[in-house]
A and B are shown apart, each in its own frame.
Chain A
Amino acid sequence: MRALQDCPPLSQEEARRFGRHLILPEFGSEGQRRLKAGSVLLVGVGGLGSPAALYLAAAGVGRIGLVDADRVEETNLQRQVAHGRASLGRPKTESAAARMRDLNPGVSIERHDTFLTAENALDLIGRYDVVIDGTDNFPTRYLVNDACVRLGKPNVFGGVLRFDGQLSVFDARHGPCYRCLFPSPPPVELAPNCAEAGVLGVLPGVIGALQATEAIKLLTGLGAPLIGSMLVYDGLDLSFDRVAIAKDPACPCCSRPPGEIVLKAEAMACAAPAPGRRIAPADLRARLAGGDAPLLLDVRNPPEWAGGIIPGAALLPRAEIEAALAELPDGAAPLPGHPLAGIPRDREVVVYCQGGLRSAAVIRALAAAGHPASRLLDLEGGFSAWDGPVARPVPEAAG
């Protein structure tokens, strides 16, 4: 928390605008001045980052940084309320910044149209008082954690999946860090993301608003931040439970002197080496153009197909493939009519998903079920890296 003498006074307009804060005895003009002098970095401006960005701007945080390299897609709008139809295809930071300025033109918004990386994390996080982790993947979460521990910054953590939410404040100076709880991420096949497992649209609204609350508390010194506890929200039975957590004296991160913490991209390890081969987008494009076309298998979910597919791809979500494989006797080839009968074993099959995680899991599962691994190819970088032709509208699903 910043010393009051380092916080600028409020203008008359600000005193009027934030009157509902000023009238709270615990908050007062001191709290508002501390917010005005404070800064927050939002890593991810998606489901969690949207409500956090809007509430922090509205509350009068002086400087807010937005880190996100993604652009607004239609499937985002089910939950990412900082964006709208008019922003489709635009950078998320641009879309969110416009809404935030509309709420509060006095806030200074700094756009960082990039992903957080091991190279830029210390520089970006070092410029802000508080970090809100609203990312959507494990590697970035570990990067946020490690950088915050190294720099001695509080990390307001939020995570959502399906109907479940988690919230905590990790501040290694006063309590556990993320790695104290979860030293390493799950293997790909045990780590469904929201695109695969789904998420109730309002869920990140609940958790993102709580992250904003914790950030405001940290900046103003109000109340007790959620350090040393994990809040667990279950949207189905509407329960909020707290689990007491503690620093791990053998933590691979925060038990070390901060200066010795080396940032590195946490690889999403696979439980077993992925069989099959990989194919670069340019090589696939050349093969499709040259008439030497392998079968294409898109293992994303139907809403993702609506955003475009590689022309000619068979469409079969990963979950359906795994369910169908589970019903096959060991090593048996699928009979005609079986959902997997459309995946030939005597021809090369290029499997792709959005980013390359699910396709690797499918290839592993197909190979384990007897599909010749030498004929399975994983499209590098998935559909996100595909720069060839895209087909619309969505054809009928295969199988």
Chain B
Amino acid sequence: MPVIQVPSALRRYTGQQARIPVAGATVADALDNLVEAAPEMRNHLFAAGALRPFVLVSRNGQDIRLLQGLGTPVAGDDEIRILASIAGG
């Protein structure tokens, strides 16, 4: 089952879990299942059905914009990573 890697700033919505196994055939399916289990995450990730402009999602180390966007297929042990822009310095 694909696994979603959650950045530490968003783990308060996942019970501090960093890696969440999710079902789904595409990145969109997997993220839908994630926000169903962690509803407060939705506002951080999506606005009007699209990924927010300060969130980057990758599959197996590649920005999904280089693949098929939210329609990028996932299977097996694929890793989906959520990256939120951070400004701390």
Interface residues of A (CB under 8 A from B): 44, 46-49, 133-138, 141, 158-164, 166, 181-186, 190-194, 197, 199, 204, 230, 232, 234, 236-237, 241-246, 248
Chain B residues with CB under 8 A of A242: 61
Would you give the 0/1 interface string for B1-15, flagging 1 where the beta carbon is closer than 8 Å to chain A? Answer: 000000111000000
Structural contact, B54 and A182, CB atoms closer than 8 A: yes
Contacts of A194 in B (CB 8 A): 88-89
B residues lining the A interface (CB < 8 Å): 7-9, 18, 43-44, 52-54, 56, 58, 61-63, 65-66, 81, 83-89
Could you write out 22 A-B pairs with CB less than 8 Å apart?
Answer: A46-B89, A47-B88, A48-B89, A134-B89, A135-B89, A137-B87, A141-B87, A158-B89, A160-B86, A160-B88, A162-B8, A164-B9, A166-B83, A182-B85, A185-B85, A191-B54, A234-B18, A243-B58, A243-B62, A243-B63, A243-B83, A246-B65
Cβ–Cβ contact B87 & A237, under 8 A: no
The answer to whether A138 and B87 touch (CB under 8 A), given A182-B56, A190-B44, A244-B62, is yes
Shortest distance in angstroms between A322's beta carbon and chain B's nearest beta carbon?
11
Cβ contact within 8 Å between A135 and B7: no
- Residues from chain B with Cβ under 8 Å of A241 in the complex: 61, 81
Beyond A48-B89, A49-B89, whether A181 also contacts B61 by CB under 8 A is no
Q: A162-B8, A245-B63 are in contact. Are A230 and B83 (CB under 8 A)?
A: yes
Contact residue among A49, A234, A248 (Cβ-Cβ distance under 8 Å from B65): A248
Q: Which residues of A are found within 8 Å of B58, using beta-carbon distances?
A: 243-244
In the assembled complex, the CB of A235 is this many whole angstroms from the nearest CB of chain B, namely 8
> A184 to B54, alpha carbons, bound, how many Å?
6
- Provide the residues of chain A in CB contact with B63, threshold 8 Å: 181, 243-246
